[in-house]
Structure 1
Amino acid sequence: MTPPNPWAWLRSHPDIDLVWGGLPTGWRGATDGRTIWLAEGLTQRERRCTLAHELTHIRLGLLGVQSASGEERVRLATARWLLPDLEAVADALADSTTQDAALDLWVTDDILHTRLAHLTDSERNLMSRDTAA
């Protein structure tokens, strides 16, 4: 399976502008629905995941300052978008730490942790079958 590509999604939406920098200290990204700001100095993995997170805000229509539950909804939807193939996740986790697995899966540690923390029962069963094999 080809990994999801937030950059391709952004290219298919020319109405959304991308701006580098201009963020408060400590912020990785932000959006108002028309513009996405990404912090300078992020790794490629961080840029990919931050872009996906901001695009998810747009896709879900959750713009502006979010409640904790709204932000969690965006984090979970982003993790599900970037990690749709649980067999690949199980394979990456089989012989490595979660940090190494995140590297292999081309996501940040927090994206992988979010995905794993919110597995449905059927996803959890699939993961346990894949890791037991």
Structure 2
Amino acid sequence: MDNKTIAELHRNAESMGLSVMSRDLPRDICGLYDDRHKLILLADWLNQRQRRCTLCHELIHAKHHDPGCGSQYGLKCERRCRRETALALISPVDYGMVEQIYEGNTWMMAVELGVTIQVLSDYRQLLYDSGVCVQ
């Protein structure tokens, strides 16, 4: 069901001229994007689903050359990035199928879709905001 595999995401990074490295980051930081150095750092403690979602998220920051969370536009950039990550990793068809199969069980849906609960929640928020479904 994965729309984008880890390998595809790494190829995307390479085609954008970005380096991706794993590092021992603090537990509250899954990944970082440094536009100046064209570098994405991923926490070395991430599992495969977390790594996939975080890499996709950081690639979207890179695509937009986001200045960072501490900047004047940080919150806006982060919201946009979370929306785009959810849309990039979850297809509407797959979402509809797993919602029916798992009857809305968030954990099982996220596992089946290969995403984190956060990415799934962001996708659900998009559906709610667009009026497609009710929370």
Could you tell me the TM-score, scaled by structure 2's length? 0.80
Unpaired segments ≥5 residues, structure 2:
none
> Deviations 1:60-88 (Å, cap 9, x if unpaired)?
221322522221111111111111x2121
Aligned partner of 1:105 in structure 2 is 113
Q: 2:31 aligns with which of 11, 29, 32?
A: 29
Which residue type is aligned with residue 67 of structure 2? L
Amino acid at match of 2:100: A
The structure 1 residue matched to 2:47, chosen from 18, 24, 43, is: 43
Counterparts in 2 of 1:6 and 1:44: CA distance versus 1, 3 Å:
closer
The aligned residue for residue 80 of structure 1 is 87
**C-alpha contact 2:89 2:115 (8 A) present in aligned 1:** yes
Distance, in Å, in 2 between the alignment partners of 1:50 and 1:9 is 10
Identical aligned residues as a percent? 29
1:7, 1:48 within 8 Å by CA — same for their partners in 2? no
Partner of 1:93: 99
Taking only aligned residues, the RMSD between alpha carbons, in angstroms, comes to 1.9
CA contact (8 A) 2:66 2:77 kept: yes
SS at match of 2:66: coil
Tell me how far apart the structure 2 counterparts of residues 101 and 20 of structure 1 sit (CA, whole Å): 27
- Structure 2 CA distance for partners of 1:36 and 1:89, relative to 1, 3 Å: same
Q: Deviations over 1:82-123 (max 9, x none)?
A: 11x2121011111320110010000000001101101223xx
Amino acid at match of 2:20: L
What letter corresponds to residue 68 of structure 1 in structure 2?
L
Structure 1 position 22, deviation (Å) = 4.7
Number of residues paired by the alignment?
122
* Corresponding position of 1:115: 123
